[in-house]
Structure 1
Amino acid sequence: MSGVPERSEIDAAYQWDLESIYESDEAWEAAYEAVSERVEELRAYEGRVTEDAATLLEFLELREEILREVAQVTTYARLRSSEDTRNQEYQAMSAKGSSLSSEASSATSFVEPELQSLSREEVEAMIDAEPGLETYEHYFDDVLRMKPHTRSAEVEEVLADLSEVTDAPSEIYSMLTNADLTYGVVEDPEGEEVEITQANFTKLQTKPDREFRKRVHETFYEEWAGVRNTVGTSLEKAVRSHVTNAEIRGYETAREAALDGTNVPTDVYDNLVDTVDDNLDALHRHAELKEQALGVDQLESHDLYMSLTGEEGPDVEYEQAREWVIEAVAPLGEAYQERMREGLDSRWVDVFENRGKRSGAFSSGTYDTQPFILMNYQDDIASMFTLAHELGHSMHSELAGDAQPWHDASYEIFVAEIASTVNETLLTHHLLETLEDDELRTHVLDEYLERFRSTLFRQTMFAAFEQEIHEVVEDDGALTPDAFDEIYGDLKGRYYAPVELTGGIEREWERIPHFYYNFYVYQYSTGIAAAAAIVDRILDEGDEAAADYRAMLEAGGSDYPLEVVREAGIDMAQPEPVESAIRIYRDYLDEIAGLLDLE
């Protein structure tokens, strides 16, 4: 039986270097105890923050000192727990870290209501009186902007204390799907048993044997059927918490509340969904090309991840992938490229899947640490693109951390998903330009088309689903597993009109953790649209455009997302980036159709 190794069986060279944060779990415990005792120092400023400029600066500097250490403690524990979700010691550490983070948030919850008791003129006078406050100008502007939606200090403290409770649906879902749930075992075409995991499901859906893909698909979603009531309840509670929080803060909808947190107009969301909906014929053509390429009478759900080449792509081992990714980012400048290489040599990446490891991939870290990338590398082209994606996030953090003070370094997801996708797009261009192997080039082109499909179209479909399920609750409706199935199935049917939906695909909503993240997924779609425009500009204009893009990365969170992206010469308030990205998708579909002699 093909199985997943234990973590102890994986070479340390392919594991991230968490000892760079704390040399041991005992050192973490000591740091945890020390910073836990300091959190109460913050409460001493309650009611005093705005008494004068010197006191305000003193508080802000103390808050930074303590919260930076809290971030270290919580990040280390969370990353350790991600290594093996079965490890109860690390799960307990992660829970302690989460509680500490909530406690620190509660201990500082008074500051924004107190600042909002001031007028803009009074805040400006305090800045004039204390020059050290000048670096906080964007922070002050953001706080004052949210004044209509911030409640009293007492209510804000209660809301902060409740964060552990309101986060519970997501945490329960994570433990269920990563630690407790198994996804079945199937027999491959050679007669060997293969264990299905969240990490390998998509790869198994690219295997050439259609009956095998069907068995994998049906087995996987049958396992989800067994927990549909649990997952349905957890998602319903998450949606209700989003809606309730929006109501408490005086918003008309949960979506408005979620987007206002980053000052992104809901028009950007509507523009995305409407523009994609108007161009679903491009996605339909992709599906029709797959049907031709596979030589089947009717494309079904288990065929959607298949390559247009009709076969599994060539293996790409990790060492080769990292070299290609490094080469691909050369247009961003030598300093960017070398810093990425140094990071990979410094064990930024936890590379391979192990039993109990959290599924998927992410980039994490703090202002004071190196980046840490979790992967479940599968020796394929898709994993290579995921590596490029996560390195985009990590390099973003590095450049923003260098250029900005702590309070302005953290960037919004809206910008983050551009940085990651720029790397993917550069990788595509590099490989199509340099590879002499026509088969590999075709697979790279196909991979980009797949990632475009699954990012722009699929994530926009998720965004539409998220909006619909929140509207049900806002209209006093009931969200049951059947309701989720119906809403999701209808959307899937419209987006993939040429496909016969089979094998329990209407339950796909159960396996998407992003639905717990409160209107998060649309930013993947806006990200790939902006990335396509940025890369076109860099390839056309060279160093000047690359410098503008690096300026965007260096800006971090020093301005609102739409303004930060404008640093790179892109206006996401307009439909053009989305329309332009879809035109590129159409062109690539034409190109691969010609290469494969498809209509």
Structure 2
Amino acid sequence: MSSVPDRSEIDAEYKWDLESIYATDEDWEAAYEEVAERIEDLAAYEGQATDDAETLLEVLELRDDLMREVSTVASYARMRSDEDTTNQEYQAMSARAQSLAAEAQSAASFVEPEIQSLTREEFEEMLEAESDLETYDHYVDDVLRMKPHTRSTEVESLLADLSEVTGATGEVYNMLSNADMEFPTVEDPDGEAVEISQSNFVNLLKRPDRDFRQHVYEAYFDEWESVRNTVAASYKNSVKADVKLARARNYDTAREAALDGPNVPVEVYDTLVETVDDNLDKLHRHAELKREALDVDELRMWDLYMPLTGDEGPDVPYDDARQHIVDALAPLGEEYQSRVADGLESRWVDVYENDGKQSGAYSGGTYDTQPFILMNYQDDISSMYTLAHELGHSMHSELTKDEQPFVYSSYEIFVAEVASTVNEALLTDHLLETVDDEQFRRHVLNEFLERVRSTLYRQTLFAEFEHEAHELEEAGEPLTADRLDDLYQGLKERYYEPADVDDRIAREWMRIPHFYRAFYVYQYSTGISAALAIVDDVLEEGEEAAADYREFLQRGSREYPLDLLRIAGVDMSTSDPIERALDTYGQRLEQLASLV
């Protein structure tokens, strides 16, 4: 029987090195207590932040020091919890850390409203009196920009205190989908029992036996059917929270509120959806080619993940994947490449799936730690690409920390997904240029097409879904399980017009955790569009374009996202990068079609 191993069965070299943050949980506890005591130091400045330039600098530096410590405490607790979501001790630790972070945010909530009591001219006078405030110039500009949407100190404090409550639906969903739901075990064509999990579901849908794929598909979504009302209630209340918080901050819509944070015009969102909708013919062509490759009368939803190559992909052991990725990053410069190689040797990555582990993948860590990458590596090409993706995030953080103070060390998701997808695109180019094995090359090309399909098309479908769901809530329409299913199925039918869209796929929205971060997913689509343009420039122009890209990574959040991307030579205020990405998708689709 195939089963997911216990964490204790996995070798230490394939686990992330959380002991580099705190050697023991007792050390974490001591850090927690120390940070908790410092919160009052910041709160004592309330009402005084803008008394003079020196005080404002003290407040900002104290706030940053405190948040640095809180982020490290919270990150450690979260990652321990993600190692095994059934471990109640670490769940409690993570909950305490979230409460601490909320308390710190509440204590700091006076800072921005007090800065907003200033005019730009008054801040300029403070700059003349205290030159060290220059560090915070862009930050203050951003705070003043948000003045119409920032409430009084009392209201901001209340909203900060309520952040645990307003974000609770995502936590409930996470516990349901990763800890409490038990997916069935199915028998594969060889008679072996296979346990379906969140991590291996898509991989099982790549198996060559069509009846087995159908069995997996139906069993998986039938399990979601058993909790559909719970998930619908969870998502409905998540959407309600988005809408109410947007209105509390004087926005007309939740989408406007979400996009205004990073200063991205809603027109960018609309341009993405319109451009993708205008190019659905390419996706329809992809679906039709899958039908032909499978030699079936009708493409079904359990066929969507099957490769155009018509056979199961080659195994890619983790150590092989590491070497491919390091080699692929050579165009970004020797220093960049070496840093990735060193990180992979320094236990940045928690590699394999274990019982109770958080599904999916992410890049974590803080300003004061090394990067940490959660994986559920499955020894295939897709997992190799996921590793390259997360390493892009990690290197973005590393290069930003090298050049920027803490206040600019984070970066908006809008630009974060560029760094991750640049790595993927470089990996594709490298493998197609250097690997002689024709089967491997066909699968690499197929992986590229699937990445574009699932990133540019699929995430835009998701973006349409959550936009329409929020519009229904804003119009006072009920978000029932049936309504959400109908909305999702309608989109699926339009995007996959040549295929048979059955009723079970209407529940697919239930398995998407990103919906609990409102208006997040569209940035995967804009990110891959920008990334493909950057990689084209790097490969054509060499070091000059690579240097521009590295500068973009080093800038962190010191400029607004669209301005940052212009440093790298991309203008996302237009449809051009999206159209270029879709053209590349169409060209490579025909290239693979001619091979298979």
Aligned to 2:406: 406
Q: What count of residue pairs does the alignment treat as equivalent?
A: 596
CA deviations over 1:486-543 (Å, ceiling 9, x no partner): 0000000000001101361110000000111010000000000000100000000000
CA offset at residue 128 of structure 1? 1.2
8 Å Cα contact 2:254-2:470 kept in structure 1: yes
8 Å Cα contact 1:218-1:503 kept in structure 2: no
TM-score normalised according to structure 1 size: 0.99
CA deviations over 1:140-159 (Å, ceiling 9, x no partner): 00000000000000000000
CA distance in 2 between partners of 1:124 and 1:183 (Å): 60
CA deviations over 1:23-62 (Å, ceiling 9, x no partner): 0000000110111111111110000000000000011111
8 Å Cα contact 2:204-2:216 kept in structure 1: yes
8 Å Cα contact 1:232-1:481 kept in structure 2: yes
CA distance in 2 between partners of 1:384 and 1:70 (Å): 33
CA distance in 1 between partners of 2:544 and 2:371 (Å): 27
Instruction: Say yes or no: does 1:248 pair with 2:257.
Output: no
CA deviations over 1:255-295 (Å, ceiling 9, x no partner): 00000000000000000000000000000000000000000
Q: Which amino acid letter does the alignment assign opposite residue 472 of structure 2?
A: V
Instruction: Say yes or no: does 1:340 pair with 2:355.
Output: no
Instruction: Say yes or no: does 1:425 pair with 2:425.
Output: yes
CA RMSD of aligned residues (A): 0.5
CA distance in 2 between partners of 1:529 and 1:58 (Å): 41
CA deviations over 1:278-331 (Å, ceiling 9, x no partner): 000000000000000000000000000000011110000000000000000000
Q: Within 5 Å, give how 1:371-410 maps onto structure 2.
A: 371-410=371-410
Q: Which amino acid letter does the alignment assign opposite residue 359 of structure 1?
A: S
CA distance in 1 between partners of 2:209 and 2:124 (Å): 67
Aligned to 1:524: 524
Q: Within 5 Å, give how 1:552-591 maps onto structure 2.
A: 552-591=552-591
Aligned to 1:42: 42
Residues 61-70 or 543-552, more deviating = 61-70
Partner secondary structure for residue 352 of structure 1: coil
Aligned to 2:17: 17
8 Å Cα contact 1:301-1:503 kept in structure 2: no
Partner secondary structure for residue 124 of structure 2: helix
8 Å Cα contact 1:485-1:507 kept in structure 2: yes
CA offset at residue 341 of structure 1? 0.4
Q: Within 5 Å, give how 1:176-195 maps onto structure 2.
A: 176-195=176-195
Instruction: Say yes or no: does 1:74 pair with 2:74.
Output: yes
Partner secondary structure for residue 377 of structure 1: coil
8 Å Cα contact 1:221-1:503 kept in structure 2: no
Aligned to 1:221: 221
Aligned to 2:313: 313
CA distance in 2 between partners of 1:354 and 1:503 (Å): 32
Q: Which amino acid letter does the alignment assign opposite residue 64 of structure 2?
A: E
CA distance in 1 between partners of 2:328 and 2:534 (Å): 15
Aligned to 1:147: 147
CA deviations over 1:116-145 (Å, ceiling 9, x no partner): 011110011111110110010010000000
CA offset at residue 362 of structure 1? 0.1
Q: Within 5 Å, give how 1:60-209 maps onto structure 2.
A: 60-209=60-209
CA distance in 2 between partners of 1:590 and 1:283 (Å): 12
Q: Which amino acid letter does the alignment assign opposite residue 11 of structure 1?
A: D
8 Å Cα contact 2:489-2:503 kept in structure 1: no
CA distance in 2 between partners of 1:194 and 1:40 (Å): 53
Aligned to 1:368: 368
CA distance in 1 between partners of 2:183 and 2:454 (Å): 22
CA distance in 2 between partners of 1:211 and 1:527 (Å): 36
* Structure 2 gaps, min length 5: none
Aligned to 1:542: 542
Aligned to 1:464: 464
8 Å Cα contact 2:258-2:518 kept in structure 1: yes
TM-score normalised according to structure 2 size: 1.00
8 Å Cα contact 1:14-1:350 kept in structure 2: yes
Q: Which amino acid letter does the alignment assign opposite residue 578 of structure 1?
A: I
8 Å Cα contact 1:205-1:216 kept in structure 2: yes
CA offset at residue 79 of structure 1? 0.3
Segments ≥4 residues shifted beyond 2 Å:
none
Q: Which amino acid letter does the alignment assign opposite residue 27 of structure 2?
A: A
CA distance in 1 between partners of 2:273 and 2:514 (Å): 17
Aligned to 1:237: 237
Residues 165-174 or 178-187, more deviating = 178-187
Percent identity over the alignment is 64
Partner secondary structure for residue 351 of structure 2: strand
8 Å Cα contact 1:214-1:503 kept in structure 2: no
8 Å Cα contact 1:449-1:585 kept in structure 2: yes
8 Å Cα contact 2:472-2:479 kept in structure 1: yes
Q: Which amino acid letter does the alignment assign opposite residue 408 of structure 2?
A: D
